[in-house]
């Protein structure tokens, strides 16, 4: 089985920010060393990618107007305007503008 890559994109989520704030507080109060905090954050990156890949089975489709796209360092970034999402349960959600970041989850075999 191919090893799963981990990226730092999950650090920029509400749970990632909460973890960083908590680790900063623990470092400031001298309850953990900065090296431990770095290891925790690196583990968070790997575990988030693994859990989302293994446990989330929901699907959706979307339509919109592609405004901008980039491919840099094996990461695709898309800016889509006037987007409509259709979820598993047939619920529809609309948004003016969405940024999608797509990373390769597994090494090429």
User: Contact 11/45 with Cβ under 8 angstroms?
Assistant: yes
Domains 8-55 and 60-103 share a fold: no
pLDDT of residue 2: 46
Return mean pLDDT, the chain: 89
Which CATH fold topology does 60-103 show? TATA box binding Protein, subunit D; domain 2 (2.30.18)
Q: Which of 93, 69, 92, 91 is nearest to 80 (CA)?
A: 69
What is the residue extent of each domain of the chain?
A: 8-55, 60-103
Whether the predicted pLDDT of 51 surpasses 60:
yes
Residues 6+ apart with CB under 8 A from 43: none
Whether the predicted pLDDT of 66 surpasses 80:
yes
Report, as an integer, the average pLDDT of 55-84. Answer: 93
pLDDT of residue 90: 86
For residue 104, name the pLDDT band (cuts at 50, 70, 90): confident
Per the listing, tokens 């405004």 go with: 67
Report the percent of the chain where pLDDT is more than 90.
Answer: 63
Q: Is 27 helix (H, G, I), strand (E, B) or coil?
A: helix
Report how far residue 92's alpha carbon sits from residue 70's, in angstroms, rounded to the nearest whole number: 27
Whether the predicted pLDDT of 1 surpasses 50:
no
Report, as an integer, the average pLDDT of 32-45. Answer: 95
Going by the DSSP 8-state scheme, the letter that residue 60 receives in this structure is E
Instruction: Give 8-55's CATH code, choosing from 1.10.150.120, 3.40.50.2000, 1.10.287.190, 2.60.40.420.
Output: 1.10.287.190
User: Contact 74/106 with Cβ under 8 angstroms?
Assistant: no
């Amino acid at each position: 089985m191919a090893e799963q890559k981990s990226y730092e994109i999950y650090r920029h989520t509400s749970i990632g920010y909460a973890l960083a704030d908590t680790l900063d507080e623990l470092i400031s109060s001298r309850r953990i060393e900065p090296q431990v905090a770095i290891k925790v954050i690196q583990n968070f990156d790997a575990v988030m990618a693994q859990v989302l890949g293994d446990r989330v089975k929901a699907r959706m489709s979307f339509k919109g107007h592609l405004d901008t796209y980039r491919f840099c360092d094996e990461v695709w970034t898309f800016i889509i305007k006037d987007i409509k999402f259709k979820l598993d349960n047939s619920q529809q959600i609309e948004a003016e503008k969405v940024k999608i970041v797509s990373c390769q989850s597994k090494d090429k075999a």
